[in-house]
Amino acid sequence: MERKSFQLGDIVQMKKQHPCGSNEMEIIRMGMDIRIKCVGCKHSVLIPRAKFEKNMKKVLRSAEDSTES
Q: How far is CA 14 from CA 17, 36, 59, 66, in A?
A: 7, 11, 9, 20
Question: What is the model's pLDDT at position 66?
Answer: 63
Domain boundaries defined on the chain: 8-62
Q: What is the mean pLDDT of each run of 10 residues along the chain (69 residues)?
A: 79 92 92 94 94 92 71
Q: Please state the pTM of the whole predicted model.
A: 0.82
- Asked if residues 12 and 63 have their Cβ atoms less than 8 Å apart, the reply is no
Question: What is the model's pLDDT at position 67?
Answer: 63
Question: What is the model's pLDDT at position 37?
Answer: 96
